[in-house]
Chain A
């Protein structure tokens, strides 16, 4: 583009935005002594907006519930028992004290010698409390069985439904948007011809079963239009399928040449091999070492994260919607946050010796106080770039929702 065209383009932008490309006083409003406390300023603006536009505020609340309570908190974590070990955080950023908000974080402690138990943490003062309604026994079938009535059975780990004030034995991604039902896959019975999908009514505990062909699937999302599944081949989820409800028809969304790690709304996180980086060998082929964001509707994908020699997997999202990934390989595991394409932050390194089954449990849930992350010996919180243990438990611990 020559100088004349460029100048014409600039003038066109000025005209298009009616000379409003400069915003006088912006810095003084957003920064400086009068606006040092950005959080309180934001709250004040939100309050003002609520007063002057009730309808708009209701929409904002709806969006906040959908985004914070739904998409950002989604994870994919079947249940298992795992041994204890220690974290080695790689970063030492300064502690950023969370805002003193009057909320509590539910979390689940998996003591192998007893039932799984839900507890509450008050981030403001660090106080803890038990919850008698949050006890789950591990059955002979390996599933979690609630002691509260009606008895709810699921593959775990556990999510606390704040609206219904109920602990559910399923991850957020396996719960319907309205919280009325959740789904889990039946335990492996050796049947290689079909897999049972259980859809449980939360109010009654009624368990309805559907069948999908093939013996190995992974549940990715309980969406508004059905349950999204991926077929497991060599431990990798191939393709994306939608099991429609209530009919139970299975339809293909993405072809099996796509390896899908997670689904959230219209976005899928897919894996492939970045030929410019080392990759593990798996089944005589190179294992995926790259995570990409795929728009399911258009098929457009953006490479997001390359993990040389490691297999990445999305376990949650931070407060900006960026993926938190766990990358595993023979030498160990890395917990990573990709804030932009190829802009990767290493959060923690886990020691070798954990099995892939152990890692399937890992969970990350974001809220206004930070990101809550599973731990081998307690509940961890991501503060800035540093992963810190917020609650030592001595056992595997998972966040069960955001701060409520």
Chain B
């Protein structure tokens, strides 16, 4: 009974590579929410995050034949999502929008630097640092999957996570001192 219901990932991959869209959806569907959360942590905007996941889904469908049997669909899909988010962040239009936001944010920080709390500290992180600690500690992904998703080595991923945690812990200490 199980064999007819629970197809192996490799079978689904083969079917998806031959153009079977339900098979592709069975592969990618379980990872959509995670992909959306990753995109949200990188882009900061829910609509942009959904667009990024949609674009990544389209790209993954186009290139699903490249995924080798035994590969992790989740890691690959997250890599495509993160790549697309990075290209969005690099784009001129996005930088214009972000530049305006950052200007407003920096004004607020000038007014009261001590008012930064943990979530603000999170938002102040580099988007890849933020995505790294989100995937590692909120989604419990293995370090190798975090590195693959962000297109960096495990050493670099570890370094990003340590750096981000160091900053957040400093912020936590400040909060505790104030409290």
Contacts and interface: CB of A to CB of B under 8 A. Distances in A.
Contacts of A36: 21
Interface stretch (B2-10, B29-37, B104-112): B29-37
A96 B19 contact: yes
A63 B21 contact: no
A386 to B, nearest CB: 7
A32 B25 contact: yes
Given A96-B65, A337-B66, A345-B66, A384 B32 contact: no
A287 B134 CA distance: 40
B122 A16 contact: yes
Nearest to A60: B93
B58 A38 contact: yes
Interface stretch (A6-14, A246-254, A373-381): A6-14
B119 to A, nearest CB: 4
Contact of A9 (B44, B151, B168): B168
Interface string B35-69: 01100110010100111011101110111111010
Contacts of B120: 16
A215 interface: no
Contact of B83 (A10, A320, A384): A320
Contacts of B137: 1, 6, 9-10
A94 B66 CA distance: 11
Interface string B57-97: 11101111110100000001001100100010001110010
Contact of A94 (B19, B37, B55, B165): B19
Nearest to B134: A13
A63 B89 CA distance: 12
B54 A384 contact: no
Interface in A80-123: 93-94, 96
A12 B120 CA distance: 9
B58 A42 contact: yes
A38 B64 CA distance: 14
B93 A26 contact: no
A339 B59 CA distance: 12
B156 interface: yes
Interface stretch (A17-25, A136-144, A176-184, A195-203): A17-25
Interface in B156-179: 156, 165, 168, 172
A84 B138 CA distance: 56
Nearest to B147: A341
Interface in B119-152: 119-120, 122-123, 133-134, 137-138, 148, 151-152
Given A12-B118, A337-B66, A31 B17 contact: no
B93 A63 contact: yes
Contacts of B58: 38-39, 42
Contacts of B62: 96, 319, 384
A321 B55 CA distance: 14
A15 B119 contact: yes
B33 A384 contact: no
A331 interface: no
Contacts of B87: 67, 321
B28 A9 contact: no
Interface residues of A, number: 51
A303 interface: yes
A20 B91 CA distance: 24
B115 interface: no
A383 B62 CA distance: 9
B102 interface: no
A164 interface: no
Contacts of A321: 83, 87
A384 to B, nearest CB: 3
A45 interface: yes
A54 interface: no
Nearest to A99: B62
A27 B29 contact: yes
A51 interface: no
A23 B25 contact: no
Given A38-B61, A62-B92, A96-B65, A30 B122 contact: no
A31 B91 CA distance: 27
Given A16-B122, A320-B59, A302 B40 contact: no
12 contacts: A9-B138, A13-B41, A15-B119, A16-B123, A27-B29, A30-B53, A42-B55, A59-B93, A63-B91, A94-B17, A320-B59, A320-B83
Q: Which 4 A-B pairs have the closest CB atoms?
A: A384-B65, A16-B119, A59-B93, A93-B65
Interface of B: 17-19, 21, 25, 28-29, 32-33, 36-37, 40-41, 44, 46, 49-51, 53-55, 57-59, 61-66, 68, 76, 79-80, 83, 87, 91-93, 96, 118-120, 122-123, 133-134, 137-138, 148, 151-153, 156, 165, 168, 172
Given A16-B123, A63-B93, A302-B153, 17 more contacts: A9-B137, A16-B122, A23-B46, A26-B36, A27-B32, A29-B54, A31-B28, A38-B57, A38-B61, A59-B93, A62-B93, A96-B19, A96-B65, A302-B152, A345-B66, A345-B68, A383-B65
